[in-house]
Chains A and B, each alone.
Chain A
Amino acid sequence: MKKIAIYIILASATVTIALSGCNKLNENPTSVIVTTQFFKTASDATSAVNAIYGTLNSDPAGDFPLYGRQLNLLVENASDNQVYSPSNTNPDVRALGTATYISSNSRVQKVWQQIYYGINRANIAIDNIPNISIDTALRARLIRESKFIRGLLYFNLVRLWGDVPLVLHNPESLDLSKLFVKRTAAEDVYTQIISDLTDATNLPKSFTGTDLGRATGGAAHTLLAKVYLTRKDYSKALTELNTVINGGYGYALFTNYKDVFQKATKNGVEHIFSVQFETNLGELNSAQNLSQSFTSFNTGTFPIDIPADSSVSKLFAKTDTRRAVTFYDSVYNAATGKYVVFKNAYTPYFNKFVDYSLSPLTIQSQSAVNYPVLRYADVLLMYAEVVNELSGPTGDAYVAINKVRTRANVANLTTGLTQQAFRDSVFLERRKELMQEGHRWFDLVRQGGTTLVDALHKIPQKTGVDTKYNLFPIPQVEVLLNNQLTQNPGY
């Protein structure tokens, strides 16, 4: 009896375990969203577009965000505005500061990667959102926002590297032979940029509340103007600028230049498109590293980036209110009630992105100061430049540049300048107005010829450059991996 009972128990146990225990091998994750589950709802579509914006202010690996120092390492640090500080030990950052960078430069590679990272997310949104059945107005808006950022990122790419691979879809498989492509002529890249931005001009004129900060129609017109200006297509640039100025968008200059770079006045009347930063909302991987121009009241330590040399701060007239916003010589220490003065060979230090609303002030990694990509002062200066190029330094051109100068408490520009002298004045004004805002290298290079080289030769540490530096090298890893990619001349 007992024996039979054991047989029965054992047999049934084995069968039960074998049946229930046969685990299924297909994966149905609950903690990870898989592509096949996604792109079903309006919320999915919005999240996919939010993720594109996210590539502007964060890096998935925790590196500097594109608009939180990475791009600046190329367009400010490699220009005549800026150089590395003694505390900066990364040889690649130093190479950019001294304009001795080569194709294996990790910062050059990172900017390339971050831009394409954003482009890929935009491509995914543009390809997938049309298939979701949602409100058509929302659908159109989200696609246009995606196109605005894709346009912005390709515009950065084509200016930094010239011909670049024009990728417009998410890769479908890992088949490398399909992933390897050639560089597309800059002309064709511009065609795509103009097409994307033109569609994006249909975006709403403004957003409010919890949508504040999204790309608007005005931002698309402004960026389009900048694209045409870079291509010296001045009449089209003028049309776009006229739309921005007179199209009912309501843009104006802040009364105080300081308000361009304050947490309290972010997304204000002068801001056309800004990359958004916030403090301590619990997010990951977003840090406004440019704010680390101030890190300590200890005068023995240095911020990460410093002006190229003393000539940079000397550009500003004594009365120019922009100097005290662009640089600091002393900082108030609330703990001691005293100002700490910074005076050494590298001072004054950069100031625009230091968030004075933080407490303690020394923790600047979480600055809530936005990065102004497009703002109205830039529009006015572009307008002055375009008018000067089309019809010489007319009254209109003077009015535009003088608006910017007046706000900075600087006297009106000398009247009766030649076209060339006016052009030079506009570029000098741009340098002062937009310092550390990611314009300088682009402004030098788009003037063509040896403008960049001549400017850099004035900085003692950058005397070794030649015209090959009008383009950055294609990242070495890209060329090694895909031999269809050619390198830029000289690298």
Chain B
Amino acid sequence: MEIYIHEKSIPFKFLFVLFLSVVTLSASAQTEPPPTINSHLEGKVIDSLTKQPIAGAIIKILGTTHAVAAAQNGSFSFITGQKFPYTLIISFIGYRTKEVVANGSPITIQLAESVSQLNDVVVVGYGTQKKSDITGSIASVPKNILNQPAAGFDNLLQGSVSGVAVTQNSGQPGSTATIRIRGGNSISFGNSPLYVIDGFIVYNNNDNANIGSIGTSVNALSTINPSDIESIEVLKDASATAIYGSHGANGVVIITTKRGKKGTNNVSFNTYYGTQRVAKKLDLLNAGQWASLVNDINTSDGVAKTFTNAQITALGSGSDWQSSALRSAPVLNDELSVSGGDEKSRYLISGNYFNQKGTILNTGFKRYSARANYERNVSEKFKISTNIFGSQSIENKLAGSSYNSINFSNAFASLILTSPVAPIKNADGSYNISNPYNASTTNPLQDITATTNTTTLTRILGNVAGEYKLLNDLTLKVTAGIDLLNASQQYYAPSFTGSPAGSSTGYAASGYASIGSGHTLSWLNENTLNYDHAFNKTHFLTVLAGYTTQYTKDDAVVASAQKFPNDLTSFDNLSYAGVSNLPTSSAHNSALNSYLARVNYSYQHKYNLTVSGRADGSSKLGANNKWGYFPSAGLSWNTNREDFFKPLSNTISNLKLRLSAGQTGNSEVPPYSSLAALSPTNYYFGSKLVTGISPVQIANPNLKWETTTQYDGGLDIGLFNDRVNLVFDAYYKKTSDLLLYVPLPLYTGYASALENVGSVSNKGIELALNTDNIKGETFSWKTNIVFALNRNKVLNLGQGIQSYFPVAATGQLSPVIVKVGLPVGTFWGYNTNGLLTADDLAKGVPTLAGVPQKVGDTKYVDTNHDGVITTADKHSLGSAQPKFTGSITNTFTYGRFDLSVFFQGSYGSKNFNLLQQTLERPTLSNNASATLLNRWTPDNTTGTVARATNSPVPQVTDRYIENGSYLKLKNASLGYSFSGGALSKIHAKNLRVYLSAQNLVTITKYKGLDPEVSFYDNDNTKQGIDYGTYPSVRTFLAGLAVTF
């Protein structure tokens, strides 16, 4: 592939350079008299950081009209009458203009990217804005983070922008992440930000990607190739997000993909390859230790011991089920892009292949994607552009038997819980399916390897836009686009795979196949008028007005069948099955019509005002409340541009105060939520299935959006010619009219109704600090620090309701509570104080009501001092929401070497270690945690873990609500960029090789596999529950990036 491009590129490049030189020569031939040649200067213009050539840079000799443009490889030459030394002025868009004294030939000129706040433009909703005039809180993902290898772009957001909290829910390749901007506003619906990809609004609804899917959710955003991304802007406050109205409350992530640059033609090839290993394993009992535990349980049951001492000795360490499914897995990424442009057109086409195998057998994630971006100035006034993107991603998800009353398939936990006494394989190499300690004939490793569970997502996202300058200052822009997401789910559990009783997969059903297919289509039309005028160079006015309409339609079908005569056809032909299950299908459509407007006014770029608003009409809301209105206003003051500030300007290069207030909304309820819907049920008459139809919800014609009112105050400081940049924000958000399932009296026949009640607040501060610590020609050192603190609190849950327990299928009473005065999703349980002693019992310390407690059992704390332990003694044990999060990135360059070290951390969150609780609950069937080695026994009265009894009732206690704080070395990478000589040999403009390590170090007190965990995915009320999700990995990779 490389060679192919290489060969192709030579004649092309040659022709191009030839063409350029002819143009340059002919131009000079026409305009200048025959010159006196006094000097011949050869030079090259490169980027000071990346060392990439800057094609098209303009080099001018000071005091003359003589100017040339740098060629493709950055080189330029002057044959001039000037004598050395003379001064060159080098300029290029996006770079700081530089003056260099030329003393002789050749010369290499390094241009630094412009960080001047004045001329920078920032991508904002429906346009761009001068950075100096911004009034809202907008942050960009730093370039060096965007360049890091990542499976999906949500990985890039982690720790890169203050106020954006990202939790990877599971280590499953292609799985979802929980992303919250400035905390979660809503309790029941949609806390994820809105994504705007090249102007197209994508509300990421993973439901559409998980049609009939089993196991962890598939991430619909994983379809996007992160390397295509040029920039990511995060809009945080109301001044920035109100233009997105009823979608804006959770913040907006604006993604702009790469496009060609004028005057270049680049062929880039990037590749990396790496290996991943599981970062951590759990300490479990071995066979002998487990047998002793079983004997202790027998003793407490008052029955004979199962194992003799001789048997225990003979058992030895037994089977290591946990490790049996783990492997070292490769990850590979290849991408090729060709981009370029001329005076009138810019283009980019790219292709990507990404293949990440999972560290658990039979899992992985693959993506193929292609993109074409094109822009053309049809005339001075008329410009067209298009962005078309297509991808297919295939996720092989961990599947296997479900476990216990946990509704989710959790094959890795099943594996961990299998008794080490049971052999994994028989002597003949076949899987051992006779585990005398398990209820059913199954082998969890065989289940994992033999079960197919594949989700294929196909996404096409394309839009076209036309821009026409109606007047010099007035532009009309019309865009139309579609987003097409097709999901296909294939599941087959062969007849020899199994699962405990109650589940209908595998042998239980003698072969179980399920196939699901879903299509989501969203089209969007936006029409905006933009007026941009400067009055007397003192009053700058930009006015935006527009009308947009978006229509979304989804449909899905799931069919499943069981009792297959053999395993040959599986999901590819359900008609071989003996029993078909009732198929399901669904279809929804929804529409959003919007009017939007924004006025930016700036007086001399000193005083800036932004007023924006949006009116949204959403079909999903109640008949009486279809339309919502979302206004905002923001002010900013560039203090440093005041005359009185001049004396300080050497020190303080930028000082800006920002203030904003406004309202945004959230209407992420499913369609038809306000209607009195009826749903089907089944019954049997004469042993035949009949259908019943009955209501499931009461109509609520008043259903409306949640409103988030946000106040933000910010400060931007630049010191020492912007070598130190500090952005500080403080905010307060109150979300009212929450979309909440309000409990109804059960005697009405309904458990709840969706209504707008209650409120939640989030308040916090954010800090981003970028410093150029050392800025030399050969050595430089930059530091980025990001810090954010958010406090979330439930203010109100409606009339008469102080708290409720969200349903969490954890095999016990809900471990989480939503309670007024506490953060959403607070853990709720008992405090413990060691174990009960004979002395305690003699003194009559309070014990658990209804359960006879003995010496060596857990001693619960009677928090309400009523002399008995009941559920009334449960109280808040903390929440999964961190007290603060932060990251620090250090980037060093030394000559052609570059090194980047990225630490990311979270402090003050709690996790409910449900897996550890399960592993510390002794049973006659499951393996247990090694912590049980220190259990209380009559011989070990100083043991710290409760005595072994048969399947005690699990209780949510402070023992399992663990500290989830962590500090991770998320990424360390070392790169080398080759110099001119080596490059010219391969005719490349740029070649960089690098080594990178991801997730190298994790410092945490958390005892589970990874403190970053969420078994219930994005569920707002059940964050931080760890039931043994897919283990996270440590990755080492090596890569190469070359541009021709």
Q: Which residues of A contact B (CB under 8 A)?
A: 2-3, 6, 10, 13-14, 17-18, 21-27, 29-36, 38, 44, 47-58, 60-61, 86-87, 89-92, 94-95, 98, 100, 102, 104, 106, 109, 112-113, 116-117, 119-121, 123-124, 164-165, 167, 170-171, 173-174, 176, 179-181, 207-214, 266-267, 276-278, 280-286, 292, 295-296, 298, 300-301, 344-345, 360, 362-366, 368, 475, 477-478, 480-483
Contact B382 A6 (CB under 8 A): yes
Contact B925 A301 (CB under 8 A): yes
Closest B residue to A296 using CB positions: B439
Query: Could you tell me the distance between the alpha carbons of A113 and B623 in the complex, rounded to whole angstroms?
Result: 30
Contact A35 B699 (CB under 8 A): yes
Query: Could you tell me the distance between the alpha carbons of A47 and B682 in the complex, rounded to whole angstroms?
Result: 9
Contact B743 A14 (CB under 8 A): no
Contact A35 B678 (CB under 8 A): yes
Distance to closest chain A CB from B304 (angstroms)? 11
List A contacts of B476 (CB < 8 A).
Answer: 10, 14
Contact A6 B468 (CB under 8 A): yes
Closest A residue to B955 using CB positions: A91
B865 beta carbon closer than 8 Å to chain A: no
Contact B588 A31 (CB under 8 A): yes
Contact B801 A34 (CB under 8 A): no
Query: Could you tell me the distance between the alpha carbons of A237 and B608 in the complex, rounded to whole angstroms?
Result: 87
Query: Could you tell me the distance between the alpha carbons of A295 and B620 in the complex, rounded to whole angstroms?
Result: 45
Closest A residue to B696 using CB positions: A60
Query: Could you tell me the distance between the alpha carbons of A257 and B381 in the complex, rounded to whole angstroms?
Result: 92
List B contacts of A345 (CB < 8 A).
Answer: 301-303
Contact A26 B619 (CB under 8 A): yes
Contact A478 B746 (CB under 8 A): yes
Known: A48-B692, A481-B745. 18 other contacts (CB 8 A): A21-B549, A23-B551, A26-B623, A29-B672, A35-B676, A50-B683, A89-B952, A112-B747, A116-B746, A120-B749, A121-B694, A124-B695, A167-B749, A282-B689, A296-B440, A298-B437, A298-B440, A481-B800
B841 beta carbon closer than 8 Å to chain A: no
Q: Could you say which of A21, A100, A281 contacts B689, with CB atoms under 8 Å apart?
A: A281
Contact B549 A34 (CB under 8 A): no
Contact A58 B749 (CB under 8 A): no
Closest B residue to A51 using CB positions: B692
Query: Could you tell me the distance between the alpha carbons of A173 and B439 in the complex, rounded to whole angstroms?
Result: 49
Most interface-central of B509, B671, B747 (chain A CB within 10 A): B747
B626 beta carbon closer than 8 Å to chain A: yes
B811 beta carbon closer than 8 Å to chain A: yes
List B contacts of A174 (CB < 8 A).
Answer: 698, 700, 742, 744, 753, 755
Contact A296 B745 (CB under 8 A): no
Query: Quick one: given A121-B749, A167-B748, are A210 and B678 in contact (CB under 8 Å)?
Result: no
List B contacts of A208 (CB < 8 A).
Answer: 686
List B contacts of A36 (CB < 8 A).
Answer: 676
Interface size on B, residues (CB 8 A): 108
Query: Could you tell me the distance between the alpha carbons of A207 and B509 in the complex, rounded to whole angstroms?
Result: 33
Contact A360 B593 (CB under 8 A): no
List A contacts of B468 (CB < 8 A).
Answer: 6, 10
Query: Could you tell me the distance between the alpha carbons of A104 and B954 in the complex, rounded to whole angstroms?
Result: 18
Contact B303 A119 (CB under 8 A): no
Contact A24 B591 (CB under 8 A): yes
Q: Which of B839-894 contact A (CB under 8 A)?
A: 849-851, 870-871
Query: Quick one: given A17-B478, A365-B501, are A298 and B695 in contact (CB under 8 Å)?
Result: no
B508 beta carbon closer than 8 Å to chain A: yes
Query: Quick one: given A14-B478, A50-B691, A170-B749, are A29 and B671 in contact (CB under 8 Å)?
Result: yes
Distance to closest chain B CB from A231 (angstroms)? 23
> Can you list 6 contacts pairing A with B, beta carbon distance less than 8 Å?
A32-B679, A35-B678, A36-B676, A116-B746, A171-B744, A478-B745
Contact A209 B686 (CB under 8 A): yes
B604 beta carbon closer than 8 Å to chain A: no
Query: Could you tell me the distance between the alpha carbons of A292 and B689 in the complex, rounded to whole angstroms?
Result: 23
Query: Could you tell me the distance between the alpha carbons of A156 and B889 in the complex, rounded to whole angstroms?
Result: 67
Contact A300 B677 (CB under 8 A): no
Query: Could you tell me the distance between the alpha carbons of A31 and B585 in the complex, rounded to whole angstroms?
Result: 8
Query: Could you tell me the distance between the alpha carbons of A278 and B437 in the complex, rounded to whole angstroms?
Result: 31
Query: Quick one: given A52-B692, A86-B950, A212-B685, are A91 and B675 in contact (CB under 8 Å)?
Result: no
Contact A363 B749 (CB under 8 A): no
Q: Chain B 621-657 against A: per-residue CB contact (8 Å), 1 yes, 0 no?
A: 0010010000000000000000000000000000000
B975 beta carbon closer than 8 Å to chain A: no
Most interface-central of A48, A112, A301, A475 (chain B CB within 10 A): A301
List A contacts of B472 (CB < 8 A).
Answer: none
List A contacts of B579 (CB < 8 A).
Answer: 280, 282
B504 beta carbon closer than 8 Å to chain A: yes
List B contacts of A278 (CB < 8 A).
Answer: 684, 687, 689
Query: Could you tell me the distance between the alpha carbons of A363 and B512 in the complex, rounded to whole angstroms?
Result: 14
Distance to closest chain A CB from B509 (angstroms)? 8
Contact B953 A89 (CB under 8 A): yes
Contact A57 B672 (CB under 8 A): no
Closest A residue to B294 using CB positions: A300
Contact B678 A38 (CB under 8 A): yes
Q: Could you say which of A18, A276, A363 contacts B684, with CB atoms under 8 Å apart?
A: A276
B502 beta carbon closer than 8 Å to chain A: yes
Query: Could you tell me the distance between the alpha carbons of A3 and B953 in the complex, rounded to whole angstroms?
Result: 80
Q: Which of B920-964 contact A (CB under 8 A)?
A: 924-925, 950-954
Query: Could you tell me the distance between the alpha carbons of A20 and B679 in the complex, rounded to whole angstroms?
Result: 33
B30 beta carbon closer than 8 Å to chain A: no
Query: Could you tell me the distance between the alpha carbons of A141 and B643 in the complex, rounded to whole angstroms?
Result: 91
List B contacts of A285 (CB < 8 A).
Answer: 681
Contact B682 A171 (CB under 8 A): no
B799 beta carbon closer than 8 Å to chain A: yes
Most interface-central of B582, B626, B676, B849 (chain A CB within 10 A): B676
Contact A23 B619 (CB under 8 A): yes
Query: Could you tell me the distance between the alpha carbons of A59 and B731 in the complex, rounded to whole angstroms?
Result: 45
Query: Could you tell me the distance between the alpha carbons of A89 and B381 in the complex, rounded to whole angstroms?
Result: 73
List A contacts of B690 (CB < 8 A).
Answer: 50, 210
B586 beta carbon closer than 8 Å to chain A: yes
Most interface-central of B508, B591, B686 (chain A CB within 10 A): B686
Distance to closest chain A CB from B173 (angstroms)? 30
Most interface-central of B504, B527, B850 (chain A CB within 10 A): B850
B144 beta carbon closer than 8 Å to chain A: no
Query: Quick one: given A14-B478, A345-B303, are A277 and B684 in contact (CB under 8 Å)?
Result: yes
Contact B746 A94 (CB under 8 A): no
List A contacts of B588 (CB < 8 A).
Answer: 29, 31
Closest B residue to A118 using CB positions: B749
Query: Could you tell me the distance between the alpha carbons of A113 and B587 in the complex, rounded to whole angstroms?
Result: 30
Query: Could you tell me the distance between the alpha carbons of A355 and B351 in the complex, rounded to whole angstroms?
Result: 58
Distance to closest chain A CB from B812 (angstroms)? 7
List B contacts of A180 (CB < 8 A).
Answer: 745
Contact B478 A13 (CB under 8 A): yes
Contact A17 B951 (CB under 8 A): no
Contact A14 B527 (CB under 8 A): yes
Query: Could you tell me the distance between the alpha carbons of A300 and B842 in the complex, rounded to whole angstroms?
Result: 35
List B contacts of A292 (CB < 8 A).
Answer: 501-502
Query: Quick one: given A21-B525, A89-B954, are A362 and B753 in contact (CB under 8 Å)?
Result: no
B908 beta carbon closer than 8 Å to chain A: no
Query: Could you tell me the distance between the alpha carbons of A266 and B437 in the complex, rounded to whole angstroms?
Result: 36
Q: Chain B 741-781 against A: per-residue CB contact (8 Å), 1 yes, 0 no?
A: 01111111111010100000000000000000000000000
List B contacts of A301 (CB < 8 A).
Answer: 439, 924-925
Contact B582 A53 (CB under 8 A): no
Q: Which of B780-828 contact A (CB under 8 A)?
A: 799-801, 807, 811-813
B480 beta carbon closer than 8 Å to chain A: yes
Distance to closest chain A CB from B635 (angstroms)? 34
Query: Quick one: given A10-B466, A10-B468, A210-B686, are A362 and B440 in contact (CB under 8 Å)?
Result: yes
Q: Which of B227-241 contact A (CB under 8 A)?
A: none
Contact B692 A54 (CB under 8 A): yes
Q: Could you say which of B562, B593, B686, B924 contacts A211, with CB atoms under 8 Å apart?
A: B686
Contact B501 A362 (CB under 8 A): yes
Distance to closest chain B CB from A486 (angstroms)? 14
Q: Could you say which of B381, B504, B547, B695 contacts A18, with CB atoms under 8 Å apart?
A: B547
